Every structure is written in structure tokens, then in C-alpha cells.
Chain A
Amino acid sequence: MKNQTPPVEIVQDIKTLWGVDRQPMGCPYCKRVFLVKPQENKNTCPLCQKGTLGSQPARLRPQEPEKLLPFKIGQEQLRTIYSAFTSGVWIKPPDFTPQKLLSRSIPIFWPLWLVDSDINGHWQMEAGFDYQVESSKESFAQGQWQSRKQIETRVRWEPRLGEISYHVDNIAVPALEEHENRIRMTGGYHLDQAIAFDPSRIADAVLEVPDLPPEDAWPMAEPRVNQAAWKVSEQASGAQHSRNYAIKANYDQLNWTQFYLPLYATSYLDDDGQPQIVIVNGETGTIHGPQLASRKRGLKIAGILGVVAVGLLLLMVICALLTALNPILGGIAVLLGILGFGTGIAAIVPAAWPASWNRKQKPLRIAQRR
């Protein structure tokens, strides 16, 4: 790999970068580094909510990012998304409301690398060409045969090999170690909808700094560049399908630029006062995060129901004792007994349900980076 890209620089104290008012700040807890507005110093880390952001040097590339994917989810849509997200839980923590989630939402752009490269090498593969064959379906009814012709498309596989001298542009490569996890959480982005980097588009957003420099990201970039070469080779062969592609190539004129993807991060406090991070894909609205139920509220409800049950049972006893005075009280005692026992049994549900529900929550969480 011959890298023509200028190396990253250690940036400590800058006021403006790429035409926007940003300063590198890091989270001492999750070690993520962001470019945030200077006035947001001492804020809590938007992606772990555990550490306080503070100034720190960052490994940055001075070149402006090449592209970004703008936010398509606005505040109204976000409110709807949060409402649907919270309504899925029966006994919620008091902090787990759409309003709270919305008020804490922070727009974040997270990075990808875009790699341009010249590919010079030779390749081989099995190329699949579609062809059509004639088949038929015969049917017999009322003493007569009828034949229906059917056309099937099949694939003929043939070996192909060749040489490639081709330039590929804008191959998306992870710039964060947790890239794959994050994509699993947010779902995919439509990278073809990206626009050229525009400082006005990131006015209020926090920018996340890559933690994989190009030299570390290359092992992930190479298969993606080869994938592009595969597609080109298939196209060159005029094949409709291909398999078992192998390439031996040199990659020259490598050029790495940055690409930013939109994300909302928000949080709510669980029973123990621990922040739970929820993230939303800023383009598609896919939401991910734990939907925890409140054990404390569950126990509180169970306690109330328990007290009601005990009260009903006491009344049952009193009515039973007074049955000698009025036989009707015997019937009431039976009724109260049924109600009391029923309420007592029902009290088990809110006590047990939150723990059972919480066990089923998604194990993949944004803050589990450390």
C-alpha cells in the first residue's frame, strides 16, 4: 500500500476546524474523543453518560471531511420514535419518558473513512452467465392432454481470469473500532445519499473522532477494495453472477478522506440511577437501546396490591365472625376471601415481571465499549 495521504496530526487546542467552532474533548471513562463546541466543556459524554468531557489532544487529519450524510429525522419524528419506544414497556422507570429522551437528544456525526485507490493486478473467478431452457408441464383432464411450455433461467459457470488496472473511489471503511457493533445497532445507512461536507449542516452536532487511523483501518479496507474490483471484473466479463473471486494486486494512489454519518444519542436513568443510552439512526430512524422496566415501581405496585389483599382478608375474617348475627355476612366473607386471595396472587405479577422483562433486553449496548 502506498499512502499518499498526509499523516494525522496531534491537535490539542484549536478553536475552529473545517470552518466550524469545535474543540477536541475526550471522555475519561469510555475514551471516546469528540469535537465539540468549546462551551460544551464539562458536559457529560453523550455516548456513555458516565464521564465528563474534558480537553485533550486528538489525532486528527487537518483535511476537511469529504462527505456527510445529513440528518433526515427531525424533532417531531424523533418524538414519535421515542413514544413508540417507551410505550413498549409496562412498568417504566419514572425517567423513561419520550419527553425526557427528547430533551436529552444530542445529534452526533460519527466517522467512516472513504478510500480511493488504483488497483493493479490479476484476478480469477467463476463467471455465471444466464441462459434459458424450455421445460413443460403436462396436464390431463376429461380425456385430453394439455401441454404448457415453461421457460426456466439457469446459470452456466465458466472460468474467467484477467488483469485489472482500475481506479476505485469512495470505498467506505470503518473509522471506529466499534463500527460493526454500531451498524448492528443503528441498521444501515444509504451512503449513496451523501452530500459534500458542508459546515452549516453540523451546526449543533457533536463530531466523533476516528479511533482507527488509516494504517490500522487498511486491513478492513483491503477486502472492501477487492470487493469493488470483483464487481468491476464481473461487469467486464459480461457475467450476471460470479463466485470464488481471487485477486492479487497492488494498491496505489491511496487517498483517505472522512465521511460522517448522523446519529442521535439520548439516555434515561434506570432504577439504580444508572444512565441507559439509547441511539437513533439519524437517517432512517432505527432506534436501539435497552427498554428497561422498573423493579422498584413493580415492587411498589405489588406492595399496594398486597396491602389491599391483606385488608380484604381481614374484612373477610371480621365478616366470618359476625355471620352468627347476620347470615348474609357469610356470603360477603366468601366474596371478600376470593377478592383478597385474587389480589394477593395478582400482586406477584408486578413484583416478578420487571426482572423477567429486563433479562430479555438487547445485550448489545452503546456504552459497553470499555
Chain B
Amino acid sequence: MPGKTKHDQSWSPPELYAQVESKVPGVVVYAPKPEPIEEDQSSSFKCPNCGATVTYNVAAGGIACEYCGYIAPVHSMQVGRTADEFEFTLETISQSDRGWGGERQILHCDSCGAALSIPAGALSTTCPFCASNQVNVTASLEDSLRPRFLVPFKVKPDQNKRLAAAWLGKGWFHPDELVSNAVLRHFIGVYLPFWTFDARVDASWRAQVGYERVERHYNAHEKRWETRTRIDWRWENGAVRLNIDDLLVTGTSPKHVSQRILKDLYPFQLKDLVTYEPDYLAGWRAQAYEIPLRDAWETGKQAIREQAKRACHNDIPTHHVRNFSMTADLADESWRYILLPVYLATYKFTDRVFQIMVNGQTGAVAGQKPVVWWKVWLVIAAMLSPGFILGLIGLPLLLLGGAGVVPIGIGIILFVIGVVMSIILYNKAQSWEAG
């Protein structure tokens, strides 16, 4: 062995250590063996009893076979908010920019040996030949950029359908056929990628702060003493410290998932984070991040600095502020890459595409709903008509002798109220469709 010393031939390094390069001849260096990075971490899921395809069952909380009743728990650990976080090292940021692996990937089915072509970013699929579920977490460019934690589904598929049906069925302005199975059948359970960010923010502000002062003065025109409020402006400064904990930023591109709908699903309870196990993804879809760390962090920073700005404004004792400026020093920034459970349905209605999502952990529902526009216009007409009719009645009366002033006045008031309510209803209807 090169560099073996004379002093103690029996000495050998512990098992978990391996020899590494030494930069000085005569000195042998051992370092802890790195954790093996599996080149192909695909796993297939077949029942050990009957050979049927098994999936992760929400109710059972483990891998289950629907044919023979086989159930195996998932061996993961609940880590919650204490899940490992990573620093913004320059290497990680640049590797995250290069994305998750390459284009479409070839995955070999462990069950039947078929070569499956799966889209880039897909973490799971089902073999079309043997119907076995495959989970594919290919070695990323950096180990930390693989999903390490996830929140498992808590809402069962049938429960999801009930929640979605209740949400879709709510409201007279929407088509009745929405609640039909045709829409509900579109739901798929998918683990979506998210970034979480932590940081400590030391913000300092400077501004002219105005303090109200009531003073008495003599009004020469009115010839009497009056009081008036004056504002005294003073330059002031202050400092605020904020701790940002688990700020959630989506890793999915807005091209695929509506960011507005996704935000309506918040909050997710990150106390339920568990260590990643492929079992959780068996039979479920999962997507790798499309928004790289750097871009997600820019989004996160925008939210953080606005929070810091609000905190600085709250630090100012009055609401009279001008020439406000501030700095926010970010420190101890860290990030985490996680998967969160969402039921997602994308369906077509009268040639338009609508999306609906259900939080797979809390059951919160959000999405777009088509609107039956004739119902909206009918209601708008109903809201405008009282004012219009009163105006019509009042006009001839006014011409005949002045008694029409009262109905015309009431008519104008009702018409204005009708217009305001119509605008509100119209905007609301637009937002139902936009999501």
C-alpha cells in the first residue's frame, strides 16, 4: 500500500473511510466515503404475492395491492420543518440552471424489460406493456437537486371527487353538467415541485415622518379663532429584523399550471414533510422542477423584500411618510426542494380549456369554472331594470306637471346601484372563468 507507515502496520482506517488524493508525498489521506449516487434510481412496483401492479394507497398509508390485499408501509421519516436545507453555493445555482437531466429519457422497465421513453421532468410513469408503475428519479446534476422531501397525499381520490363536485356544483351561474363524472374523471393526483426558502433579513429604513399637530389660529375673514391640523416632518430611521421561514415558491412553469390557482391552494402544512421514498410516487404522477433555483429565488426575494418593506412601514409610528428608502441585508439564505400533493383536472368545455386543483393534503379547492353568460346578462338586466322602469314612468309625469321628480330621482339612484352591482357581477364572472 503506498505510503504505509512503519510505526503501526496494524493501523487501518475505519470502514466508512476511503483513501483520497494526497497533495503531499508521504502522507496518506482518508475521507468519509461519499454516499453512493445511483445512476438509475428507477423502481418498479409489483405485488410480491400475486404479481399485480401495486400503488401507493392514501387510506392505507403504504403500498397496496387491490387484488390480493397486500399492504406494505412506507419506510420514511417525518421530518417536518426540520428537513435539511441547503445553502446557495455557486455550484448548486449554476447546476440548477442546467435543469433536471436532459430531454426525453429512456427508462428500462424492471418488470418486463421494455424501454420506455418518458418526457423530461416526469418522475413516474406506467409501463404500457405490463402496466407496472415506474418511479424514475434519475441522477441529477447535483445530488441536492433531487427531491429529498415530500408531503404525502392525505386526501383520498374519492374524497377528492366529492370535494371537487361540491365546489363545481356551487353557484347558479355555472353549467349543471360540470358536476358530471366526465369532468371528475379528468382528475389525476400529481406531486408538484416547490422550492422553500429561509432567510434572515436585517432591514434599515430612512424616511421623513410626519406628526400631526393641532394649532389655533385667528381667521381674519371670519374674525374668529379656529383650529387646524399641521404636519411636522422629521427625518427618522429605524431597523427591523425578519426571519423568513419556508417561503413557498412553485417550481412548475405557468405554461402548465396556473400560478393563480396554485396560490389559492395554499397553505400546505410543511410539518407533514417526510423523507423522499419512491413508494409514495407509485401509481401517482410526479413532476420535476421547471423553474430553476435561481429564478425561483428571484421570485422569493421579491416577496421577501416586500415583506421587509411592510415591516419597515409598520415600524414607523405614523401613516405620514415621504422620501422613504430602505436596505435589506439577506443572510443565512437556504433552500429546499420538495414535492407537494395536488389533484389536477384539465378539461374542455365549449372548446375552452379549464383547470381545477385540489390540495392533496388539506382538501382546499381552487380553479376555473365556465360561466353560463346568458344567466349573467339576465341578472344584470334584472338589476338595471328597476331604475330604468322608474325613469320611464317618471319622465312623462315630469312633463305633465312636475310630479315625476320623485320617481326619476329614485330611478337614477336604483340605476346607479344596478350599474355598480352589474360591474361587480361581470368581473366576478370573468374571474370564475379565469381562475
- Chain A residues engaging chain B, CB cutoff 8 angstroms: 120-122, 131-142, 145, 147, 151, 154, 158-167, 232-233, 235-238, 248-250
Task: Please name all residues of chain A whose beta carbon is closer than 8 Å to the beta carbon of B165 when the two chains form the complex.
Answer: none
Q: Which of B23, B24, B88 contacts A135 (CB 8 A)?
A: B88
Establish whether residues A236 and B22, one from each chain, have CB atoms under 8 Å apart when the complex forms. yes
Q: Is B308 an interface residue (CB 8 A)?
A: yes
Given A137-B328, A154-B87, A120:B7 Cβ within 8 A: yes
Q: In angstroms, how far is the closest chain B Cβ from the Cβ of A154?
A: 7
Flag whether B159 is at the interface (Cβ < 8 A). Answer: no
Size class of the contact patch on chain B: 35 or more
Please report the C-alpha to C-alpha distance between residue A236 and residue B91 in the assembled complex, in whole angstroms: 24
Beyond A136-B333, A158-B31, A236-B23, 14 additional pairs, beta carbon < 8 A? A120-B6, A120-B7, A133-B333, A138-B308, A139-B325, A140-B309, A140-B324, A161-B14, A163-B4, A163-B27, A164-B27, A165-B26, A166-B24, A237-B31
Nearest Cβ distance between residue A51 and chain B, in whole angstroms? 47
Q: Mark B51-70, 1 if CB is under 8 A from A, else 0.
A: 00000000000000000000
For B90, the chain A residues whose CB sits under 8 A away are 131-134, 151
**Chain B residues with Cβ under 8 A from A139's Cβ?**
325-328
10 A-B pairs whose Cβ atoms sit less than 8 Å apart in the complex: A121-B5, A134-B333, A141-B325, A141-B326, A145-B305, A160-B31, A162-B13, A233-B29, A238-B23, A250-B7
Contacts of B302 in A (CB 8 A): 145
Question: Is B158 on the interface with A (CB-CB < 8 A)?
Answer: no
A309 CB to closest chain B CB (Å) equals 60
Considering residues B6, B17, B29, B91, which has the most beta carbons from chain A within 10 angstroms of its beta carbon?
A: B29
Bound Cα distance from A141 to B312, whole angstroms: 13
CA distance A365 to B301 in the complex (A): 62
Interface residues of B in 300-317 (CB under 8 A from A): 301-302, 304-305, 308-309
Interface of A is mostly: strand
A136 to B302, alpha carbons, bound, how many Å? Answer: 12
Of the candidates A133, A141, A154, A232, the one having the most CB atoms from chain B within 10 angstroms of its own CB is: A133
Chain A-chain B contacts (Cβ-Cβ < 8 Å), number? 122
Partner of A165, one of B6, B308, B330: B6
B402 within 8 A of A: no
Q: Is the CB of A232 within 8 A of B24?
A: yes
Min C-beta distance of A71 to chain B, whole Å: 36
Chain A residue at minimal CB-CB distance from B16:
A159
CA gap between A271 and B90 in the complex, in Å: 70
Contact A165 B325, CB 8 Å, known A133-B87, A136-B301: no
Is B222's CB within 8 Å of the partner chain A? no
Contact B28 A163 (CB under 8 A): yes
* Residues from chain B with Cβ under 8 Å of A154 in the complex: 87
* Partner pick for A166 among B27, B88, B89, CB 8 A cutoff: B27
Q: Nearest B residue to A161 by beta-carbon distance?
A: B30
Cβ–Cβ < 8 Å partners of A136 in chain B: 301, 330, 333
Residues in A whose Cβ lies below 8 Å from that of B30: 160-162
Contacts of B324 in A (CB 8 A): 140
How far, in angstroms, from A137 to B200 measured CA to CA in the complex? 12
Main secondary structure of the interface of B (DSSP, over half): mixed
Nearest Cβ on chain A to B249's Cβ, whole angstroms: 15
Q: Is B32 an interface residue (CB 8 A)?
A: yes
Closest residue of chain A to B205 (Cβ to Cβ) is A140
B257 beta carbon closer than 8 Å to chain A: no
Chain B residues with CB below 8 A from A122, complex form: 5, 7-8, 11
Asked if B102 CB lies within 8 Å of chain A CBs, one says no
Across chains A and B, which 4 residue pairs bring their CB atoms closest together, nearest first?
A: A236-B27, A236-B24, A120-B7, A141-B325
A165 to B308, CA, bound (A): 57
Residues of A within 8 A of B309 (CB): 140
Q: Which of B81-99 contact A (CB under 8 A)?
A: 87-91, 93
Known contacts A135-B331, A136-B330, A138-B330; decide if A163 and B5 are in contact (CB<8 Å).
yes
CA distance A235 to B23 in the complex (A): 7
Cα distance A232–B27 in the bound complex, in angstroms: 8
Whole-angstrom CA separation of A158 from B302 in the bound complex: 35
Give complex CA distance A159, B14 in Å.
12
Q: Which residues of B contact A140 (CB under 8 A)?
A: 305, 309, 324-328
CB-contacts of B276-324 with A (<8 A): 301-302, 304-305, 308-309, 324
What's the Cα separation between A145 and B22 when bound, in Å?
Answer: 48
Chain B minimum-CB-distance residue to A145:
B305
Whether the Cβ atoms of A131 and B28 lie closer than 8 Å is no
CB-defined contacts of A162 to chain B, threshold 8 Å: 13, 22, 27-30
Instruction: Please report the C-alpha to C-alpha distance between residue A84 and residue B108 in the assembled complex, in whole angstroms.
Output: 86
Q: Which residue of A lies closest to B86 (CB)?
A: A133
Residues of B within 8 A of A133 (CB): 87-90, 333
User: Which of B5, B302, B305, B325 has the most C-beta atoms of chain A within 10 angstroms of its own C-beta?
Assistant: B5
Q: Decide yes or no: A164 and B26 within 8 Å by CB, A122-B11, A133-B89, A133-B90 being known contacts.
A: yes
- Judge whether B89 and A131 touch: CB under 8 Å: yes
Name the CB-closest residue of A to B324. A140
Q: Chain B CB within 10 Å — which of A140, A163, A164, A167 has the most?
A: A163
Of A145, A160, A163, the contact of B11 (CB 8 Å cutoff)? A163
Using Cβ atoms and an 8 Å threshold, which residues of chain B touch A142? 325
Q: How far is the CA of A140 from the CA of B309 in the complex (A)?
A: 9
Residue in A141, A161, A166 whose CB lies within 8 Å of B26: A166
**B330 and A235 contacting across the interface, CB-CB below 8 Å:** no
Q: Return the CB mask of B402-415 against A: 1 if under 8 Å, else 0.
A: 00000000000000
B103 contacts partner chain A, Cβ-Cβ < 8 Å: no
